Amino acid sequence: MSSSAMQQAKPWKIAFEEHFLLRGVETKLPGRAGIIPDIAEKLRKILEVGEERIAAMDRAGIEFTILSLNAPGIQGEVEPIHAVRLAKTVNDELAALVSKHPKRFGGFAAVPLQEPKAAADELERAVRQLGFKGALVNGYSNLGDENTAEYLDEPKFLPFWERAQDLDVPIYLHPRDPLPTQQRIYHGHPELLAATWAFGVETGTHVLRLITSGLFDRYPRLTVLLGHLGEMVPFTVWRTEKCLSQTQLERPLKKRFSQYVCENFYYTTAAFFSTTALIDVMLEVGSDRICFSIDYPWQSMEEGGAWFDGASISEPDRLKIGRTNAMNLFKLNL
């Protein structure tokens, strides 16, 4: 059955880089958001989790969406006590939203990594009690002020990663802009911040830190999700692996760089509706490690759905990427 026939029969795709906000945190948006011409409409859409969003899903052929708190979310809270409290509130409110449409929505936990043990406990609560499918982390976590940050390869976060592996749930590593004091290269060019360029550089580097720290040697069953077809990482595998093989590593790795890229990560089409790029990533990591997504409301469901349904890939790959990979990853029973 062709994808167009499946879409006419019923919404069939699954998407999981799809964002929401709650009133009171709507001003915490990426730096480039201020120069997006239709930001007011985007903000209106991100606050709506109900019939309008479901109607857009239907038009795009999307059956099920996993919702996550928009960047920077909990990671942007500078006070650990406030981050812990806010994460619980956000997750409880998201669970209430999901409960109204459980066949159409699921949830990713927001986790207060300013306190790693609390983040691990909140992840477990969200998965076991609220039925969430994992967590979405918006890059580094601020601590004390907006120019102080901790990245997830640092040893203090090992209890969080251990809990994620024990729970057998994936962690979505979502972008945010570099620290304000580390944005010199973007000065005078705000158009290059956020999704245009800075997100990919920031998050791709974060991924390399995770791999070269030995995290996946310590926890080999960990699964990390990356949007935007992998934040540029899959496109540089050969060169990165070659250079690492010629480098005296402080922490020698048990596997080749390319093995971690193919075995510990999944990649989504969120906000990257390019067939050429999709095929490149398929050739690098295989179609079993790629999933469909949109990045709503920052990108159009209708545009992303139409692109994917018409992309020049095989029908078996279209079904895997659009649906069955996500079904298996999140243990869905739709």
Structural domains present in the chain: 3-329 (3.20.20.140)
Q: Which pLDDT value is given to residue 23? A: 86
pLDDT score, position 24 = 75
> pTM value?
0.95
Encoded tokens for 18: 């799809």
- Look at residue 37 in the predicted model and tell me its pLDDT: 76
Query: What is the Cα–Cα distance from 19 to 65, expressed in whole angstroms?
Result: 10
> Considering Cα of 46, then 51, then 57, then 63, what sign does the dihedral take?
positive
Contact 223, 329 (CB under 8 A): yes
pLDDT in tens, the chain (334 residues): 444 444 445 789 999 999 999 987 755 655 555 567 788 899 899 999 999 999 999 999 999 999 999 999 999 999 999 999 999 999 999 999 999 999 999 999 999 999 999 999 999 999 999 999 999 999 999 999 999 999 999 999 999 999 999 999 999 999 999 999 999 999 999 999 999 999 999 999 999 999 999 999 999 999 999 999 999 999 999 999 999 999 999 899 999 999 999 999 999 999 999 999 999 999 999 999 999 999 999 999 999 999 999 999 999 999 999 999 999 999 999 9
Residues identified as active-site: 295
What pLDDT does 210 receive?
98
Sort 277 into a burial class: Cβ within 10 Å, 0-12 / 13-18 / 19+: middle
